[in-house]
Amino acid sequence: MIGPVLRREFESTLGRSAVISDPAQLRTYECDGLTGYRVVPALVVLPESTEQVAAAVRLCARERIPFVARGAGTGLSGGALPVAEGIVISLARMRAILRIDVANQRMVVQPGVTNAGISRAVAGHGLYYAPDPSSQIVCTIGGNVAENSGGAHCLKYGFTVHHVLALQVVLADGSVVTLGGDSAEGEGPDLRGLFIGTEGTVGIATEITVRLLRKPESVRTLVADFPSVAQAGDAVSDVIAAGMVPAAIEMLDHLAIEACEAATHAGYTLDTAAALVVELDGPQVDCDGLFEQLSEICHRRGTTKIRIAASEAERAAIWQGRKAAFAAVGRISPDYFVQDGVVPRTRLAEALGRISAMSEEAGLRVANVFHAGDGNLHPLVLYDQAAGQAERAERLSHDIAELCVELGGSLSGEHGIGTDKACSMPRMFGQDDLAVMGRVRDAFDPDGLCNPGKVLPTPRLCGERPGPYRPHPLEQAGVIERM
Amino acid sequence: MGDDALAASTRDRSAGTPEPAARAVACPASLAEAHQAVRESTGTVLVSGGRTGLDWGGPVRDPDLVIDTTAMNRLITHNPADMTVAVQAGMRLADLQQALAPAGQWLALDPPTALAGPTLGGLLAGGDAGPRRLAHGALRDLVIGATVVLADGTVARAGGHVIKNVAGYDLGKLFAGSLGAFGLIAELVLRVHPRPPASVTLAVPADPTAALAATQAVRASPLEAVAVEWDGTRLLVRFEGTADGVAARQRDARGLDRLAGAEPLVDTAEQDAWDGLAAAAYGQDTDTVIRAGTRPDRLPDVVEALRRAAGPAGVTAELTSSVAAGVHTARLRGGDAAGHAACLRDWRAAVRDLGGTVTLRRRRDGVDDLVPAWGPPAPSVGVLRALKARFDPDRRFAPGRFAPWF
């Protein structure tokens, strides 16, 4: 319980304007981008510095109060869902760019700086920050570190973990440490890499040193329409087999295109079954050669139309259409769930076939927009809450994520596990695997105060019943057996 | 595997003593056998692979059991169209590259130990990487799944078989640079890349200041070098891609002021230059080899600090550098153990004053008696100790490896 005495202690430590306790205001923090889960926190604090974050965490540690760090609240897995009786530590006021080092191509920022804000700050130097999640205009780098965010271009450029050199972190006891360092190689285990993607469960990053890249000399973007999803998929396979690593290969199915066009008028063809957005970037000569090869592949696989972005503005429009896809679905359906799962790229066609069958069986439409190059699916399950379809839609969405695991993939490619999928984790990992992840968490946060209830399943969250059966690695090897 | 099988793979030390001396050696050929070897062990354990980095970090003296992973050398699955491969961790890098070659793929990793037969598990535990790190990262960046055996016999798996995956904690990162102190790496799933059709390397004579300036010029250009290395006298700049592309880029690179006078290395000269650089960073038996990381623009200071440390110590010191990554390798030769120890101590202090990190790799006999393997611990060592306590509470794996930190 946070009583008035403790509240005043937070106020005297952080300043009165940095503490929110008014019930109406607290309610604005009750959920993140996954609005189906809502919990009103007991208190919200808005620190402005590492010292203030550490001071707030020390108070929590002393009083055994759980805390949840929050960036822009754009997360889609309930990773920033508050804990009742706990506090939310919002990093929204920590928006300073601390150092820009052009010569060494890096920047030190506070966690509340937006993803796009980083690139904007160094655009004049011809530099940019590579990971580009669709929410990049508003999502923060602190949230990106927590989720190990990727984006459309991660096929070539990788994820947040590949672009962060060092982190200043406030641990669960309020101590401050640096993980990673000035170079690409440190001393001993890679704690920086271990921290990134832990979804706020082992500490709060308060300063982030990001790597900046030189903007590519040439960027070539095309949209290729195909008469079927299968043909588009074949084209993607051929691109990979040809040894190309495009910056991005995105696929949209008919329903997704319809939504995007309704929202952005980006110029996608409305009467096509599927479209690929392929982007090549790099040095001019390499890029031109590969682009020719790419066009040939699309023609060989029966493209009905190729549109090549003729200007930076046209390229931006194509991407705006693609990145607005999630929100755009609101134009064609009153409600929808965004799913995020990964299958081995070679099983994309199978996955889409199964999803289509599941969609029919549930009597709900599913729009597909996904990163085809790396098998990261984002099925959008459309439903009408008013018509009582919510529960069915949620089940379908969860079934799709678990289907991805069944096909040898992952529960999440970029949205994270958070609250939403913690109870699905036993589908993907065995008891021992999860217990060892638990040891990591316990090493950082023995009292379990740091974003509890996220990522790892708990009996309280998921019930006492053990997860569904999946074979232990030793069982697969034929060494041990269970009845 | 039954007791007999374990006995068959466990030899008395008289059957062939590896360095460092161990009372017994187990040679598991599978995850199951590795699991059994760990579970049935009671004393201290040293995991060994290709023995290219077995002495990095602090010395591990007289382990009760050495688990030699080199019989775990199978490729488990290669999915060329998914750009992934699963291997047993005792597989040697060279064997993997050979297996990937028919598909036109490779693991984009070129560590200095490459010619000495490193295994993939050893490379991950050593945290090693070579010049192409600039384009593809270190092995930690290419591992997408890992299966490990912990000291209490727990077998745990993290990650998976897909490149894009954020489900659960990434245990592979904890084992990257773990130097065998957190458990045994049994299997790995790796991301592979297409082998580029063409490569060209430019070489230009450069002192440290010129090397840094040229590196920054290349990095500020859109030429996308895959490697930029200083070998002590020359800067080597490598481009890979299509034949037309690399031809155009080397031409454009030579047009940069800072690269005026750069010449392409033709025929065998290109491979020789890269092999020479690897050999210098790997060192030889009587050498001391130290790896340091700093901000890239510290290169001239790092070189100057090494000169100052080596002179009074009476040792010959050479430095090679992955300039853009800020990773430097010093190789000490000549002199005696006291000189090597003094040079290590002084240079380490100087590098750390510059905000850098220092890892001792191989060292001349006697150095360990004179100087600790690690400098003063950073505040994050508390996290490492807490992790060690939960992964190996009895400190059985590689005891002494991170002494005096834990």
**b/e code A269-291 from CB counts within 10 Å (16+ = b):** eeebbbbbbbbbbbbbbbbbbbb
Q: How far is A93 from chain B (nearest CA, A)?
A: 26
Contacts of A282 in chain B (CB under 8 A): 224, 241, 245
**Structure confidence at residue A475 as a pLDDT band (50, 70, 90):** low
Structure tokens at B242: 């299509």
State residue A47 phi and psi, 5-degree precision.
-70, 160
- Tens of pLDDT, residue by residue over B14-43, are 333 345 567 899 999 999 999 999 999 999
pLDDT exceeds 80 at position A369: yes
- Residues 6 or more apart whose CB falls under 8 angstroms from that of B255 comprise none
Q: What ipTM did this prediction achieve?
A: 0.95
- Tens of pLDDT, residue by residue over A167-187, are 999 999 999 999 999 999 999
pLDDT exceeds 80 at position A91: yes
What is the predicted pLDDT for the residue at B16?
38
pLDDT exceeds 80 at position A166: yes
Instruction: Out of A162, A192, A375, name the one closest to residue B162 (CB).
Output: A375
**Structure confidence at residue A480 as a pLDDT band (50, 70, 90):** low
- Tens of pLDDT, residue by residue over A392-444, are 999 999 999 999 999 999 999 999 999 999 999 999 999 999 999 999 999 99
Where do we find the tokens 């679905």? A329
What is the predicted pLDDT for the residue at A323?
82
Instruction: Out of B140, B197, B391, name the one closest to residue A193 (CB).
Output: B140
Contacts of A179 in chain B (CB under 8 A): 380, 383
What is the predicted pLDDT for the residue at B8?
39
Q: Nearest 5 degrees, angle CA A175-CA A185-CA A414?
A: 70
Q: Which of A266, A275, A271, A261 is nearest to A226 (CA)?
A: A275
- Collapsing DSSP to helix, strand or coil, B223 comes out as coil
Instruction: Out of B161, B220, B293, name the one closest to residue A214 (CB).
Output: B220
- Tens of pLDDT, residue by residue over B294-342, are 999 999 999 999 999 999 999 999 999 999 999 999 999 999 999 999 9
Contacts of A434 in chain B (CB under 8 A): 168
Instruction: Out of A154, A417, A474, name the one closest to residue B32 (CB).
Output: A474
- Tens of pLDDT, residue by residue over B337-357, are 999 999 999 999 999 999 999
Residue A177 · residue B379 · CB < 8 Å: yes
Q: Which residues pair with A214 in a beta bridge?
A: A127
Query: Which chain A residue has its CA at the smallest distance from B401's CA?
Result: A188
Q: Do A428 and B160 touch (CB under 8 A)?
A: yes
More confident residue, A445 or A349: A445
Contacts of A421 in chain B (CB under 8 A): 167
Q: Do B291 and A473 touch (CB under 8 A)?
A: no
**Structure confidence at residue B180 as a pLDDT band (50, 70, 90):** very high
pLDDT exceeds 50 at position B11: no
- Residues 6 or more apart whose CB falls under 8 angstroms from that of A163 comprise A129, A130, A131, A157, A210, A211
Instruction: Out of A283, A289, A413, name the one closest to residue B166 (CB).
Output: A413
pLDDT exceeds 70 at position A471: no
Query: Which chain A residue has its CA at the smallest distance from B223's CA?
Result: A283
What is the predicted pLDDT for the residue at B1?
37
Q: Do A186 and B194 touch (CB under 8 A)?
A: no
Q: Do A194 and B174 touch (CB under 8 A)?
A: yes
What is the predicted pLDDT for the residue at A1?
74
What average pLDDT does range B52-69 have in this prediction?
96
Q: Do A413 and B402 touch (CB under 8 A)?
A: no
- Tens of pLDDT, residue by residue over B120-148, are 999 999 999 999 999 999 999 999 999 99
The Cα A192–Cα A330 span in angstroms is 38
The Cα B288–Cα B336 span in angstroms is 11
Residue B187 · residue A436 · CB < 8 Å: no
What is the predicted pLDDT for the residue at A26?
97
Among A265-269, A273-277, B167-171, B340-344, which is the least confidently predicted range?
A: A265-269
Count of residues making up chain A: 483
The Cα A352–Cα A369 span in angstroms is 11
What percent of chain A is predicted at pLDDT more than 70? 96
pLDDT exceeds 50 at position A482: no
Chains A, B: CB pairs < 8 Å: 299
Contacts of A154 in chain B (CB under 8 A): 164
Q: What is the dihedral of CA A210, A211, A215, A218, to 10 degrees?
A: -120
Residue B192 · residue B106 · CB < 8 Å: yes
Whether the CB of B201 is below 8 Å from some CB of chain A: the reply is no
Q: What is the mean pLDDT of chain A?
A: 93
What percent of chain A is predicted at pLDDT more than 90? 86
**Structure confidence at residue B225 as a pLDDT band (50, 70, 90):** very high
Q: Do A440 and B387 touch (CB under 8 A)?
A: yes
Give B 8-67 residues with CB within 8 A of chain A: 30-32, 35, 57
Pairing of strands A176-180, A213-214: unpaired
What is the predicted pLDDT for the residue at A461?
79
Q: Do B378 and A178 touch (CB under 8 A)?
A: yes
Instruction: Out of B133, B359, B380, name the one closest to residue A177 (CB).
Output: B380
What average pLDDT does range B183-205 have in this prediction?
97
Contacts of B219 in chain A (CB under 8 A): 105, 214
Whether the CB of B222 is below 8 Å from some CB of chain A: the reply is yes
Q: Do B216 and A150 touch (CB under 8 A)?
A: no
What is the predicted pLDDT for the residue at A47?
98
What is the predicted pLDDT for the residue at A49?
98
pLDDT exceeds 50 at position B260: yes
- Residues 6 or more apart whose CB falls under 8 angstroms from that of B31 comprise A473, A474, A477, B72, B88, B147, B149, B155, B186, B187
Whether the CB of B249 is below 8 Å from some CB of chain A: the reply is yes
Instruction: Out of B170, B178, B194, name the one closest to residue A245 (CB).
Output: B194
pLDDT exceeds 70 at position A467: no
Pairing of strands B10-12, B24-26: antiparallel
pLDDT exceeds 70 at position B83: yes
**Structure confidence at residue B12 as a pLDDT band (50, 70, 90):** very low
Residue B356's CB: how many other CB atoms inside 10 A? 25
Instruction: Please report, as a single letter, which amino acid is at residue A208.
Output: I
Instruction: Out of B293, B295, B378, name the one closest to residue A185 (CB).
Output: B293
- Tens of pLDDT, residue by residue over A13-55, are 999 999 999 999 999 999 999 988 999 999 999 999 999 999 9
Q: How far is B17 from chain A (nearest CA, A)?
A: 28
Q: Is the pTM of this model over 0.90?
A: yes
What is the predicted pLDDT for the residue at B9?
43
pLDDT exceeds 60 at position A337: yes
Whether the CB of B289 is below 8 Å from some CB of chain A: the reply is no
According to DSSP, residue B367 is labeled G
